[in-house]
Structures are given as C-alpha cells and as structure tokens.
C-alpha cells in the first residue's frame, strides 16, 4: 500500500522557560529540538487524521524517558524506525515554518536592527536594507524606523550615514505606498504620532536632499525629486518637520522637471493617482503651521514654492482632464479645495501685518492671494458645461475667496457667483438657482459669524451682482431681487457680529431678531431655530421670562413629534405659571397666555396621551389663573417711543423709532436715564417733533423719548358684550400692536378770539411687527400721520365718552371703589367754565364761515354734534352712581354737579337733539356675584353708530349702544 503523507508543523516560539525551547541570548537565535513522529507503516490515514493520536506523543528525549519510567514500556523504537518490506514505498514529507513576532530571520535586516553591537557594518547593512523583501520590513517597521533615525542622530560625525539613511527612508516610505502593503498605513500613522522622537532629524535630511539635488543631472534629478516627493507625503507627518524637505525639493524643480516627470507616466490613471496624492498632500502641508507666524521669510518662501508647484499642475489639469470624455470631477474638486486652502492661509493675510512688513512682503513676493485667486477664476471659467457639477459644493469655497479683504481679488472672483446663478438657471431644468441661493445663504451665515466680511464687501457684492443681473435677459428680475436679499442678509449679519459681544443685551436681541426674521421669510428653518434659541438665552439671562416664553412659542410651529411638542408646551407653560410664586409682578400678565396654553395641553393629555393625572394638574392651575385675573391687582406698563437719530448709531438703530414696553410704574425719567446709560455720548432731545435732516445726517447721536398710548384691540367675541372690567384691563396694555402719540402745533395765523381753531394735532401711529408682549420688549415704528383740528375734536369726544363708559363700568362691577376719580371726571366736564369744550367747538366748526371754507367736512361736523349729544346719557348715569355713593362731605359737590349738568343737558338737547337707547343695549345683566355688568362699547363702535344715525336723518332719537 502506497502512502504519501505531507505534514506541516508550525512552531510558535513561546517564552524561554518552556521545556524543549532554549533561547541563546548571545546570538538571539533559537535552539529547537524536534522529534519526528512515526506514521503507521500500514498507512492508517484515518488514524493520522486524528490530531490527538500524535499530539499527545513525547516531543523531547527527556519527556520520552519520563514516560518510559512511568509506564514501564520502551518507546525508543519510535526513534529507531526501520522500514520493512511493506513500507519501502511509504514516504514522509515534512515542512516547517518558524515565525517570530519579535525577531527577524533575515540576516541583513537583523544586522541593521543590532547596529550598535555591529557598528563596523552599519554602511553595509544600510545598503543591504534595500534588498530585503518588503514583507519582512513592514513586519518590523517601527524597529527599523527607530534604528534609522537613531543612526542619523547618534552617528552624526559620519555624513555617509546621513545619505544612506535618507535613501533607506525614501525606500521604506515608498514601500508603504505600494498597494500590497497599504494595510500597514495604520502602523506607520501610529509610529508618526506616538513613537517618533528624533525631532531634529529634519535638519540633516534637508541638507542631504539639497546635496543630492545639487549634484544630479536634470534627468536623474527629476526621478530623485519625485521619488522623494512621493515618499515625503508620509515623512512630513512627523510633527510637520519634513515640510522643510518638501520645500527644498520644490525649489530645485523647474518646468523641465515637471514636464519630464509627467511624461514618464505610462497610463492616464498613473497621472490621476499622482495628482490626487499630490493635491491631498499639498493641502495637508498647507494646513501645517510648521514655522512660527513671525518667521516671515520662511513662511513666504514656502508659500512661493508651493504656489509655483500648484500652478504647474493646473496646466496638467487643462491638458489631460478637461474635455468631455476625460474630465475627472474629483481631481478638479481637489484642485479647487487646495487652491482655496492656499489662498486663505493665515500666513498670506497681509492685512494682519504692520504696514512696513506688508510693504516688504509685496515688494519681494507680491500678493500671492491675487495670483492664485485669478488662477481659480480662470480655471472655473475653463470648466464650461462641467460647472453644474460643482454647484452647490463649490459655493462655499468660492465665498471664502471673495471674502478675503483684497479689492482686486474680490472684483475678479465675485462675478463667479453670477456665473453659478446663470449656470444653474440654464442647466438645472428648473429655470431657477435655488441650490446656489440656499448654499450661499447658509455659508454666508457661517463665514460672517466666524469673523469674515465687512461693509465694503456688502457694497461691492450688491453692486457687481446687480450689474450682471440687470444685463441678463432672464435673470434681470429674479437676480436683482436676490442681490438685494443677500445685501440685506449681510447687513443684518454684520450688525449681529458687531454687537455680539456688546455689553447691551438689548442691542444683541435686536440684531438677533433681525436675522431670524430674515430666515423666517426665506423659510430656512434650520438657521431660524438656531437664532431663536440664541434669543431665548439672551432673554433668560436678563430675566425677561415673558419674552423668552413668546420666543419658544415660535418654535412650536416647526414641531411635529408629539412628545417634543408636549415638552415644549410644558416648558413654556412653566414660564407662564411660575409667575404665581417665583417671579415679580411684572410677569403676572402671562395668566391669559397660560390659560390658552393650558387648553392645548389639556387636549393633549386627555385625547392623545391619556394622562389624566397631568390633565388634573393643568386644570387646577387654569382655575387658579381665572381666579387671579378677577381678584389680583395688576399694574399696567407704560409704553415709550424712542428715536435714535444721527450717523453715530449702528445701522440697525440709525434714524429709526422704536416702541418700548416699560416696566410697571416706570417713569419716563428713569427710562430715559437707562437709555442714556447705554449711549453715554448721546444728546437728549427735548422736543417730540420729528428731527430735521441736519440732525439725521449729523455724525453725533441724538435720543428722543416720549410716552405713547396703546390702542386696545379686543378679541372679536368680547366686543359689545358685558365683559367685566378686570378682563378688559388686560387688553388695555397687552395684545396691543398699535400706539398713538399726539403733539399739538399751530397751523396758520393765531386767532385771538379762538385759539383752538388754528391748533392742529399731529398724531403718530405706530404699528409693530408683533403685538406686545412678544419676542422683544421693543419694535420699530411703521407709520406717521397727522389729523385736522375737526378730526381731533371728534377723536377727543369719542375718547371722553369711552372714558365715562369705562369708569361707570368699574363702579357697577365693584361698589367698593373710591368715588373721588368719578367726581373729578364729572366735574371736569359739566363745570360751566369748561362745558365739555363744546363752546370751543361751536366757535371753531359750527359756523357758516367754516362750512363755506370746508364744505367737505359737513359729515364730520354732524358726527361731532351727535357725539356731544351722546355724552348726555353717559353723564346722567355717572351722576346717578355718584349720588348712590354720596357722603355728607360730598353732598355740596354732588348738588353742584347735578345743577350744572341740568343746565348743560338742557342746552345740548335743544341744539343737538335727545338720544334714547334701545332696550337691547341698555339691559343690565347680573354677574355671578350679584353685580350688574353692562356692555363695553369702544369708541370705534360709537363712531360707527354715530355715522349711521347721521345718515338716517334721525335727530331726536338715535339707536346707539353705550356703556350704561
């Protein structure tokens, strides 16, 4: 039976104390005793397939003898095997493989690793290293690199070693670059960043490189330079020290070297691989700040050398990789990112240097940013139809280039933006440039907040975009709109950046709101929400918890997930309801908003998450809010108009007027003091008149401040209904969006008999973007209007009637109120010396002369007469209530009021008619406490009903709803 058996034994070297293994330290070789196992001569293959049948046999002579002693059997026949006639054709094939994780079996590599004990053969071992098989070197990569750097540092007296070590390093690094050993890259990286310590080796390597290049002819120099170039893409990572070597290489190269080397590549893919690696390496090199920032000569020389190399490769790109069939997107993309990284490197930003140093750099090296920037521009336009492949990815890098504060560079590169707009419009298929627009907005926000950009950039960007867009057949409208939009964004972002670290948190809030409003309009939810939370943080820092809550409310519009919505609701609800115990009285205004939120929360608890315990807590809090609205006293805030005039103010304030929501009981003097503290150089204006152009254009700062009155805006379901005064009181200073300020001034010549006839009223109406309270404590003025004396008289009568109605309502609801305010109001109207101002109205407007001069005012005159007549039943109700609260001390005053009113009423009814009220509007309704609640009718309703009554020609009886 013929048996052919092949056995491979793998001996893994263990520690030296194991039996059968003896480590000879002197030669660092292993002495291993092997016992050849005997296979059954009958060729029992199945038995031999069972590893246990031979792995349990003794493997040393000593073990065999020990087993013989213990078993009493002789095992020597195993070692003295003599084949018989049946086994003459059997054979053994034994292969052994010995591996060590510590020592190499290659004599040449081992000699290099043990160079200290064999120093006379260092040169020989360094040369022989280049003959060692690559797989053996990479297994002992760290030991080999340590040996090379130690030889260079410790054997510095022999320059021969420096050249041999340089050759060895280039050989090893090139070896790692081979595709067969790419998986050893992590080993090299680990060595570079954790084990390399020969930090002065770069000095010797630089010298060696210069000597090599200086002594080589052009052909061999090219091969040497690019071999070193390829190797040094790894070597430079040794803490950046090999950038000097790279610079030395590139300084020696001329056009011939570049062209010759490119021509040595056999395939197009070889050129691609070379350029890819080179672009990536250069970009990494540029990112390494090898020299201190004040080493101007070294930094400039390095940049000049790198720039020349980059420019050489641009011609290769245009030559081999530009047409439709050979275009390489990633290669061009790497080029653009390399060029931008070079242009924006901090060592080239000449604005950061002193004037003397800047002049010296420009004289010797020029402004390299312009050179590479113009090249970027040319390369972009060379792309032709390939441009669309770089949109929107290249928008950010091109923006970085345009933001560099060099005028010529900006003028050359900003038009690339228009080219991108045009390219996307023509090739995207959507006939728009939305990708470009969105990317530019996103990157502008990042870059400007990061410190780039200035007012000059905003002006130039706007100018160039408008010029190009207006010349384009299809982009003239949309492009111009986009140019203004970007200009507006830049203005807001620059203001925000300028004021970001300002001590005035109010100014920071204003700029933040301007920015977030822009992103809201552009539907950029991601950026909008980011600025919302910046605003929220500013408010909480200032303890503006009301405004912080309103800010968070804006985020709810973008939430979809129920759990997130509920968390947000609870956060806002906490800000509202916490005012009951922990916040000052100025935040009690939030009860109404808390009720509104509680209703939405209750619906979620009851119908979506079925949390009845949470529902119970919300309902209990809501009940407390209702009770406090009716019982707690809530002071009303004052509102102030503030104008900032003069060029000395930042643009977001300059020559603008704002409405401010003051604190409760805050006087105008205190508010003024706070304003002037923020602007200590500002001059306070004493007049409330609009300033002239000389003040607006002045380089100084002028602050104007005066009180304005909010215009109540009742919810529709409250109007003309019996709403308690406590509920109405909230709406007198909250949920308001319009404010008025009246300033008297004379128009025309003074009338000595009736000054009122020539007295005009300028009423300024302010409309805000948000109602108060809102996301800020102030908003900008929107409108200014003036009214005639007759219109002012009508408005005065409407407001007086409303005032009488309000005070009557208060006394009807709460009998405990003091009567003194009612006494003062009634006396000021019915006193014969005043007579409600009717006499002035009669002299000014109710004359034939006025009607002849102002025939268009006929309806307004009739309306004023009806409002005078309407005041009589209001006064009657007020005097009735005054009589019910009569005391002995008040009896003389009441008697006088009654007598005066009787005379006034008689005169008015004779001249302007008698007004009676329909029962549906005068019916008194009892409240839960037993008091009588009457409809609250605003002055706007009185005007409407008065106009209706005039048109109907009913003089004696007018159906008007009033507060009785």
Q: Which two tokens stand for residue 413?
A: 């590169």
Nearest to residue 480, comparing CAs of 468, 492, 489?
A: 468
HSE of 548, CA atoms in CB hemisphere, 13 A: 19
Nearest to residue 831, comparing CAs of 869, 875, 862, 861?
A: 875
What is the C-alpha separation between 476 and 421, in angstroms, rounded?
A: 12
Whether residue 46 has pLDDT greater than 80 = no
Bin 735: left if φ > 0, else alpha if -120 < ψ < 50, else beta. left
The distance in angstroms from the start CA to the end CA of the chain is: 131
HEC secondary structure over 207-235: HHHHHHHHHCCHHHHHHHHHHHHHHHHHH
CA 559 to chain centre: 19
Q: Which two tokens stand for residue 407?
A: 């005028």
pLDDT score of 678 = 86
Over residues 485-495, mean pLDDT: 93
Other CB atoms within 10 Å distance of the CB of residue 182: 10
What is the C-alpha separation between 3 and 22, in angstroms, rounded?
A: 35
Contacts of 301 (CB under 8 A, 6+ apart): 247
pLDDT score of 710 = 94
Whether residue 521 has pLDDT greater than 90 = no
The Cα-based distances of 631 to 299, 665, 814 in angstroms read 76, 20, 11
Nearest to residue 517, comparing CAs of 212, 142, 768?
A: 768
pLDDT score of 874 = 87
Return the SS3 of 600.
helix
Query: What is the crossing angle of helices 243-251 and 218-235, to 10°?
Result: 160
Top mean-pLDDT range of 18-22, 290-294, 901-905: 901-905
Whether residue 6 has pLDDT greater than 50 = no
Whether residue 927 has pLDDT greater than 70 = no
The percent of residues in the chain predicted with pLDDT above 90, rounded, is 30
> Is the sign of the CA dihedral 355, 360, 361, 366 positive or negative?
positive
The Cα-based distances of 587 to 549, 584, 634, 684 in angstroms read 11, 6, 10, 30
Predicted confidence (pLDDT) per residue in 54-76, tens digit: 667 776 777 777 777 776 666 55
Whether residue 458 has pLDDT greater than 50 = yes
Nearest to residue 397, comparing CAs of 480, 338, 321?
A: 338
CB 733 within 8 A of CB 636: yes
Compute the radius of gyration of the chain from its Cα atoms.
Answer: 47
pLDDT score of 940 = 55
What is the C-alpha separation between 145 and 150, in angstroms, rounded?
A: 8
pLDDT score of 961 = 33
Return the SS3 of 878.
helix
What is the C-alpha separation between 648 and 665, in angstroms, rounded?
A: 31
User: Which letter does DSSP use for residue 787 in this model?
Assistant: B
Contacts of 33 (CB under 8 A, 6+ apart): 20, 60, 61
The Cα-based distances of 601 to 262, 477, 593, 619 in angstroms read 72, 47, 12, 10
Q: Which pLDDT band, with edges at 50, 70 and 90, does 952 fall under?
A: very low
Contacts of 803 (CB under 8 A, 6+ apart): 825
CB 939 within 8 A of CB 802: yes
What is the C-alpha separation between 6 and 45, in angstroms, rounded?
A: 11
HEC secondary structure over 96-136: EEEECCCCCCCHHHHHHHCHHHHHHHHHHHHHHHCCCCHHH
CB 225 within 8 A of CB 274: no
Q: Which pLDDT band, with edges at 50, 70 and 90, does 663 fall under?
A: confident
Do the bridges between strand 778-780 and strand 656-664 make them parallel or antiparallel, or are there none, so unpaired? antiparallel
What is the C-alpha separation between 337 and 280, in angstroms, rounded?
A: 9
HSE of 504, CA atoms in CB hemisphere, 13 A: 16
Predicted confidence (pLDDT) per residue in 162-220, tens digit: 888 888 887 887 787 677 887 887 887 787 767 766 656 666 776 776 676 566 566 66
The percent of residues in the chain predicted with pLDDT above 70, rounded, is 76
Whether residue 647 has pLDDT greater than 90 = yes
Contacts of 397 (CB under 8 A, 6+ apart): 336, 337, 340
What is the C-alpha separation between 170 and 223, in angstroms, rounded?
A: 12
CB 505 within 8 A of CB 542: yes
Over residues 927-948, mean pLDDT: 53
Whether residue 400 has pLDDT greater than 60 = yes
Q: Which two tokens stand for residue 901?
A: 């009113």
Residues pairing with 684 in the sheet: 703
What is the C-alpha separation between 240 and 261, in angstroms, rounded?
A: 26
Q: Which pLDDT band, with edges at 50, 70 and 90, does 619 fall under?
A: very high
b/e for 398-417, b at 16 or more Cβ within 10 A?
Answer: bbbbbbbebeebbebbbbbb
Residue 647 has phi, psi (to 5 degrees) of: -75, -5
pLDDT score of 564 = 64
CB 570 within 8 A of CB 549: no
Q: Which two tokens stand for residue 606?
A: 């009851």
Other CB atoms within 10 Å distance of the CB of residue 750: 10
pLDDT score of 561 = 60
Render 20-50 in DSSP notation, one character per residue: TEEEETTTTEEEE---PPPPPTT--HHHHHS
What is the C-alpha separation between 938 and 798, in angstroms, rounded?
A: 9
pLDDT score of 415 = 97
Over residues 881-910, mean pLDDT: 90
Whether residue 489 has pLDDT greater than 90 = yes
Query: Which residue did the predictor score with more confidence, 833 or 343?
Result: 343
Predicted confidence (pLDDT) per residue in 846-894, tens digit: 888 888 888 999 999 999 998 898 889 889 989 999 998 888 888 999 9
Contacts of 118 (CB under 8 A, 6+ apart): 111, 125
Predicted confidence (pLDDT) per residue in 215-246, tens digit: 656 666 566 666 665 555 555 444 476 677 67
Query: Which residue did the predictor score with more confidence, 430 or 619?
Result: 619
Contacts of 865 (CB under 8 A, 6+ apart): 846, 911, 912
Other CB atoms within 10 Å distance of the CB of residue 731: 17
Over residues 13-20, mean pLDDT: 36
Whether residue 95 has pLDDT greater than 90 = no
Nearest to residue 416, comparing CAs of 452, 446, 387, 456?
A: 387
pLDDT score of 816 = 82
Write down the mean pLDDT value for the chain.
79
Q: Which pLDDT band, with edges at 50, 70 and 90, does 642 fall under?
A: very high
Return the SS3 of 763.
strand
pLDDT score of 250 = 80
Residue with tokens 């990284």: 341
Please provide the size of the chain in residues: 964
Whether residue 4 has pLDDT greater than 50 = no
Whether residue 554 has pLDDT greater than 50 = yes
Render 650-700 in DSSP notation, one character per residue: -TTTTTEEEEEEEEET--HHHHHHHHHHHSTTPEEP---SPP-HHHHTSSS
Predicted confidence (pLDDT) per residue in 289-347, tens digit: 777 777 888 889 889 989 999 999 999 999 999 988 899 999 999 999 999 999 999 99
What is the C-alpha separation between 946 and 53, in angstroms, rounded?
A: 120
Whether residue 612 has pLDDT greater than 70 = yes
User: Which letter does DSSP use for residue 355 in this model?
Assistant: H
Residue with tokens 């019915």: 830
Predicted confidence (pLDDT) per residue in 98-135, tens digit: 666 567 778 888 888 888 888 888 899 899 988 888 88
The Cα-based distances of 191 to 145, 146, 177, 194, 233 in angstroms read 9, 9, 16, 5, 15
Nearest to residue 905, comparing CAs of 880, 879, 873?
A: 873
Residues pairing with 6 in the sheet: 93
Q: Which pLDDT band, with edges at 50, 70 and 90, does 89 fall under?
A: low
What is the C-alpha separation between 317 and 193, in angstroms, rounded?
A: 34
């Amino acid at each position: 039976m013929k048996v052919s058996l092949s056995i491979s034994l793998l001996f893994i070297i263990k520690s030296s104390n194991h039996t059968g293994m003896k480590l000879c330290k002197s030669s660092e070789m292993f002495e291993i005793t092997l016992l050849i196992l005997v296979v059954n001569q009958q060729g029992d293959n199945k038995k031999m397939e069972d590893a246990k049948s031979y792995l349990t046999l003794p493997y040393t002579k000593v073990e065999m003898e020990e087993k013989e002693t213990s078993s009493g059997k002789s095992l020597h026949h195993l070692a003295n095997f003599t084949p018989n006639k049946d086994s003459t054709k059997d054979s053994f094939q034994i292969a052994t493989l010995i591996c060590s994780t510590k020592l190499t079996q290659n004599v040449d590599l081992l000699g290099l690793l043990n160079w200290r004990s064999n120093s006379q053969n260092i040169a020989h071992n360094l040369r022989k290293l280049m003959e060692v098989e690559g797989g053996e070197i990479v297994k002992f990569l760290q030991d080999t690199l340590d040996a090379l750097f130690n030889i260079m540092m410790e054997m510095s007296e022999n320059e021969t070693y420096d050249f041999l070590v340089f050759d060895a390093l280039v050989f090893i690094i090139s070896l790692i670059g081979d595709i067969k050993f790419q998986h050893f890259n992590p080993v090299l990286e680990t060595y570079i960043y954790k084990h390399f310590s020969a930090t002065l080796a770069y000095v010797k390597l630089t010298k060696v490189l210069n000597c090599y290049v200086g002594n080589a002819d052009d052909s061999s120099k090219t091969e040497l330079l690019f071999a070193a170039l390829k190797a040094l893409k790894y070597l430079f990572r040794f803490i950046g020290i090999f950038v000097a070597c790279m610079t030395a290489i590139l300084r020696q190269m001329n056009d011939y070297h570049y062209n010759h080397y490119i021509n040595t590549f056999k395939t197009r893919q070889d050129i691609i691989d070379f350029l890819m690696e080179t672009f990536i390496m250069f970009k990494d090199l540029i990112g390494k700040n090898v020299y201190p920032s004040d080493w101007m000569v070294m930094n400039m020389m390095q940049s000049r050398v790198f720039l020349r190399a980059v420019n050489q490769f641009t011609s290769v790109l245009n030559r081999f990789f530009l047409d439709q069939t050979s275009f390489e997107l990633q290669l061009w993309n790497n080029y653009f990112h390399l060029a931008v990284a070079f242009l924006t490197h901090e060592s080239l930003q000449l604005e950061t240097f002193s004037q003397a140093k800047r002049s010296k750099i420009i004289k010797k090296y020029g402004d390299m940013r312009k050179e590479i920037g113009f090249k970027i521009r040319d390369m972009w336009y060379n792309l032709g139809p390939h441009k669309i492949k770089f949109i929107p990815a290249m928008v950010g890098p091109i923006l970085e280039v345009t933001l560099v504060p060099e005028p010529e560079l900006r003028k050359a590169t900003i038009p690339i933006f228009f080219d991108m707009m045009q390219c996307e419009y023509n090739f995207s298929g959507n006939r728009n440039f939305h990708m470009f627009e969105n990317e530019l907005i996103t990157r502008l926000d990042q870059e400007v907040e990061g410190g780039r950009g200035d007012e000059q950039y905003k002006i130039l960007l706007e100018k160039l975009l408008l010029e190009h867009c207006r010349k384009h057949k299809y982009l003239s409208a949309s492009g111009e709109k986009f140019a203004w939009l970007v200009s507006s964004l830049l203005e807001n972002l620059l203001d925000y950046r300028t004021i970001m670290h300002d001590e005035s948190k109010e100014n920071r809030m204003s700029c933040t709101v301007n920015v977030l409003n822009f992103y809201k309009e552009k539907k950029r939810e991601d950026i909008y929400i980011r600025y919302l939370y910046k605003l929220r943080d500013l408010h909480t820092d200032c303890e503006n918890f009301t405004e912080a809550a309103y800010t968070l409310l804006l985020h709810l519009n973008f939430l979809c997930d129920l759990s997130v919505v509920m968390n947000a609701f609870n956060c806002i609800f906490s800000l509202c309801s916490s005012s009951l115990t922990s916040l000052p009285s100025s935040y009690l205004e939030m009860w109404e908003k808390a009720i509104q939120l509680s209703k939405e929360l209750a619906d979620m608890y009851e119908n979506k998450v079925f949390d009845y315990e949470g529902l119970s807590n919300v309902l209990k809090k809501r009940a407390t809010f209702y009770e406090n609205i009716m019982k707690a006293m809530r002071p009303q805030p004052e509102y102030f108009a503030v104008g900032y005039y003069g060029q000395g103010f930042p643009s977001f304030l300059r020559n603008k007027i704002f409405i401010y929501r003051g604190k409760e009981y805050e006087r105008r003097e205190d508010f003024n003091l706070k304003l002037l503290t923020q602007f200590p150089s500002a001059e306070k204006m004493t007049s409330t008149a609009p300033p002239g152009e000389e003040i607006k254009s002045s380089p100084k700062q002028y602050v104007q401040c005066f009180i304005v009155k909010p215009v109540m805006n009742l919810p529709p379901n409250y109007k003309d209904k019996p709403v308690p005064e406590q509920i109405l009181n909230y709406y007198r200073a909250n949920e308001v969006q319009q404010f008025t300020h009246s300033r008297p001034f004379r128009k025309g010549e003074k009338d000595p008999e009736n000054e009122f006839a020539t007295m005009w009223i300028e009423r300024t109406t302010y409309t805000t973007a948000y109602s108060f309270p809102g996301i800020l404590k102030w908003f900008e003025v929107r409108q200014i209007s003036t009214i005639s004396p007759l219109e002012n008289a009508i408005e005065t009568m409407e407001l007086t009637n409303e005032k009488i109605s309000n005070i009557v309502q208060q006394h009807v609801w709460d009998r405990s109120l003091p009567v003194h305010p009612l006494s003062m109001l009634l006396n000021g109207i019915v006193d014969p010396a005043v007579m409600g101002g009717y006499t002035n109205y009669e002299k000014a407007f109710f004359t034939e002369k006025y009607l002849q001069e102002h025939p268009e005012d006929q309806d307004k005159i009739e309306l004023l007469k009806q409002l005078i007549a309407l005041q009589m039943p209001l006064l009657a109700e007020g005097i009735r209530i005054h009589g019910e609260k009569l005391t002995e001390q008040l009896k003389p005053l009441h008697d006088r009021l009654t007598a005066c009113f009787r005379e006034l009423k008689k005169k008015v009814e004779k001249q302007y008619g008698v007004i009676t009220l329909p029962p549906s509007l005068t019916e008194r309704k009892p409240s839960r406490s037993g008091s009588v609640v009457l409809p609250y009718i605003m002055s706007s309703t009185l005007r409407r009903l008065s106009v209706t009554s005039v048109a109907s020609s009913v003089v004696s009886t007018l159906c008007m709803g009033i507060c009785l």
